[in-house]
Amino acid sequence: MRIFPKLLLVFLLTSFALLLILYGLMQWGLDRGMLNYVNQRQVQSLQLVSDNLAAVYQEQNGWQAVVASSAKPRKRELNRTARRAGFNEPPRRGSLSRENRNRVNRSDRENSSRPKRNYSGIEYWRIVLRLSEQGLRYPDGIEQLRDDYAPRYQRKDRFDDHSLTLRENSPRLRPKFSLLNADKQVLIGRFTANFVKKPILSNSEIVGYVALPPTEQITDKFDLQFVEDINQQILLILAGIFIVIIIITIPLSRHFVGPITRLKHAVIQVNQGELSTRLPIVGHDELATLARNFNDLAATLEQNETSRKRWLADISHELRTPLAIVKGELEALEDGIRPLSIENISSISEEVNHLQSLINDLNELNEAEIGAMRYQKSTLNITELIRLNAERHSSLLQSQGLTLTIDIPNEKISAWGDAKRLNQLLDNLFANSAKYTDAPGQIYCRLIEKSNEFDIYIEDSKPGVSREDIAKLFEHLFRVESSRNRKTGGSGIGLALCKNIVYAHQGAISAHQAESGGLMIKITLPKNTLR
């Protein structure tokens, strides 16, 4: 699968998963919020119930009339009467014999002398709940309550100002409210620790509590319909968001895949040999950095290819010239054009020696390039090594009209390196300055110590090197003298070999234009930190 559909699929799946999680969280939050709303609404209703119960408490001077609502239904009254009559299992009234019915009736008549049960407590409790449901105050709202529930309520023969009774066929009220006394003992209903309590105050004194269990599930059809409508709206909104994400993701994926596609085509072109291929750099992100690195790599490959071609041409030229001279000299001797003399043989031998020297330099440079050059490193006194090497070249430089000046500290500077290779490095640099410095001239050698490294400067006087040529000085077979006259320069391998020796010692070498008008070579090498 290509990267574009992969990226698009990842974006869409991630967005879908996030929207699904968001929908679940929103639904959970909506349910919790709705439950909290219902509970808060019920808690607010406790205040009116508490006020109405406080009014009843003050009127009746206690909870006796209200607690009467906890009495059992009439059927249980009948069963209890049957037990008092001597029946173990309370039978149905229709299944009793005449004698037993007479016993029950006689028991009821015997108990008729007792005070009749007061059912007004049931009415107080139900009236308080009905008034509270309607948002009415006790006892001011009783008349309105009687008018609203006229079909379901009827007045008793002896109706006091605040008693209402249900018809026999009316549904029995089952309120969720519970009544507690001042000691939080249950008078009506049930009570657990998670109930919400509201104190009932009478004359600023707590006389009881009205409690309400928290709602754990929405059952009201209006609340359920509201939650369902909200869920549908959330689904529609999330579906619209997902469609917008799809619309945004497609061009965004193409935007990210575009640079990668261009990079792929560019790599194919470079692989086919088109080293001049370059990528446009847009922005400053990682893709732009990748394109910049690709352009640098392509430029390096192109430069290496150019250097390789020039290397082959230079090698061919360097080898062909002495061979052509030797061949011409030999042919002249064979044809008798030149006499066979020591002088002519010496000329041929000189060309052979030059050819041998060139081959040795190439072989040594090749060993340095592939890492086959051997190094025998040890702790060196770099100050003493530079002083001895400079003294060895001073005589030759004076004979050419050049003055060598050294500026090195007297203290010992310890370095870890190969003395033979470091002397070879200094020999090449002093020889290079001797070849390209006009007499009378000056050559300066300085040694500067730093905390963990030291710098060696070798600087000569005029003539100098142009800025364009300075960047190429360490390339193979490069010479400022493009005519490759052996009298004015070498083979162009010395500085390339110097670079490899410095790199083998974990150092750095660079060329700069000197203030004296010539060339300055800077070498930085690490100090020996071993003890």
Tell me the pLDDT tens digit for each residue of 279-319: 888 878 788 888 888 888 888 888 778 777 777 776 776 67
453-461, strands of its sheet edge to edge:
402-407, 441-449, 453-461, 517-526, 508-513
Neighbours of 366 (CB within 10 A): 12
Query: Looking at residue 522, what is its pLDDT?
Result: 92
CA-atom Rg of the chain in angstroms: 56
Query: Looking at residue 169, what is its pLDDT?
Result: 36
Question: Of 172, 209, 216, nearest to 191 (Cα)?
Answer: 209
Domains and CATH numbers, the chain: 39-212 (no CATH), 286-370 (1.10.287.130), 378-526 (3.30.565.10)
Give the span between the Cα atoms of 311 and 480, in whole angstroms.
15
Instruction: Indicate whether 224 pLDDT > 90.
Output: no
Instruction: Indicate whether 63 pLDDT > 70.
Output: yes
Question: Of 226, 202, 182, nearest to 34 (Cα)?
Answer: 226
Name the most confidently modeled range: 44-48, 146-150, 157-161.
44-48
| CA-CA-CA-CA torsion sign (39, 43, 45, 50) | positive
Query: Looking at residue 81, what is its pLDDT?
Result: 46
Query: Looking at residue 130, what is its pLDDT?
Result: 79
Query: Looking at residue 525, what is its pLDDT?
Result: 92
Instruction: Indicate whether 392 pLDDT > 60.
Output: yes
Name the most confidently modeled range: 164-178, 198-212, 474-488.
198-212
Q: How confident is the model at residue 508 (pLDDT cuts 50, 70, 90)?
A: very high
Asked if residues 397 and 443 have their Cβ atoms less than 8 Å apart, the reply is yes
Give the span between the Cα atoms of 206 and 209, in whole angstroms.
8
Q: How confident is the model at residue 162 (pLDDT cuts 50, 70, 90)?
A: very low
Mean pLDDT over residues 317-336, rounded?
Answer: 78
Query: Looking at residue 446, what is its pLDDT?
Result: 92
Question: Of 262, 254, 289, nearest to 278 (Cα)?
Answer: 262
Choice among 100-109, 118-127, 173-182, 350-359 with the minimum mean pLDDT: 100-109
Asked if residues 187 and 63 have their Cβ atoms less than 8 Å apart, the reply is yes
Q: Between 207 and 352, where is the model more confident?
A: 207
**In angstroms, how far is the first alpha carbon of the chain from the final one?**
60
Query: Looking at residue 39, what is its pLDDT?
Result: 74
Mean pLDDT over residues 260-279, rounded?
Answer: 87
Q: How confident is the model at residue 274 (pLDDT cuts 50, 70, 90)?
A: confident
Question: Of 259, 260, 298, nearest to 278 (Cα)?
Answer: 298
Q: Between 175 and 518, where is the model more confident?
A: 518
Give Cα separations from 39 to 32, 91, 217, 423, 507 (angstroms): 10, 44, 10, 94, 79
Give percent of the chain above pLDDT 70. 76
Mean pLDDT over residues 12-30, rounded?
Answer: 88
Question: Of 194, 193, 199, 187, nearest to 214 (Cα)?
Answer: 194
Query: Looking at residue 1, what is its pLDDT?
Result: 67
Query: Looking at residue 17, what is its pLDDT?
Result: 92
Residue 515: what residue type? E
Mean pLDDT over residues 497-521, rounded?
Answer: 87
Q: Between 378 and 167, where is the model more confident?
A: 378
Query: Looking at residue 529, what is its pLDDT?
Result: 64
Instruction: Indicate whether 396 pLDDT > 60.
Output: yes
Q: Which helix (H) or strand (E) holds 259?
A: helix 221-271
Name the most confidently modeled range: 99-103, 286-290, 505-509.
505-509
E strands along 359-502, which residues? 378-381, 402-407, 414-417, 441-449, 453-461
Q: How confident is the model at residue 336 (pLDDT cuts 50, 70, 90)?
A: confident
Instruction: Indicate whether 157 pLDDT > 90.
Output: no
Choice among 125-129, 171-175, 213-217 with the minimum mean pLDDT: 171-175
Name the most confidently modeled range: 26-40, 124-138, 236-250.
236-250
Give the span between the Cα atoms of 231 and 120, in whole angstroms.
47
Give the span between the Cα atoms of 460 and 201, in whole angstroms.
109
Neighbours of 311 (CB within 10 A): 15
467: left (phi over 0), alpha (psi -120 to 50) or beta: alpha
166: left (phi over 0), alpha (psi -120 to 50) or beta: beta
On average, the pLDDT of the chain sits at 76
In the structure encoding, which two tokens stand for residue 379, read together?
Answer: 């702790």
Asked if residues 338 and 329 have their Cβ atoms less than 8 Å apart, the reply is yes
Q: Which residue's entry shows tokens 């409508």?
A: 229
Mean pLDDT over residues 409-434, rounded?
Answer: 87
Half-sphere exposure of 218 (CA within 13 A, CB side): 19
Question: Of 479, 509, 473, nearest to 492 (Cα)?
Answer: 479
Between helices 221-271 and 286-335, what is the axis angle to 10°? 10
Give the span between the Cα atoms of 328 and 487, in whole angstroms.
20
3-state SS, residue 85: coil
Give Cα separations from 516 to 297, 469, 495, 513 (angstroms): 37, 18, 21, 9
Burial of 507 (0-12, 13-18, 19+ CB in 10 A): buried
Give the span between the Cα atoms of 325 and 512, in whole angstroms.
37
Q: Between 99 and 507, where is the model more confident?
A: 507
Asked if residues 12 and 245 have their Cβ atoms less than 8 Å apart, the reply is yes
> Dihedral, CA atoms, 494, 496, 498, 501, nearest 10 degrees?
-130
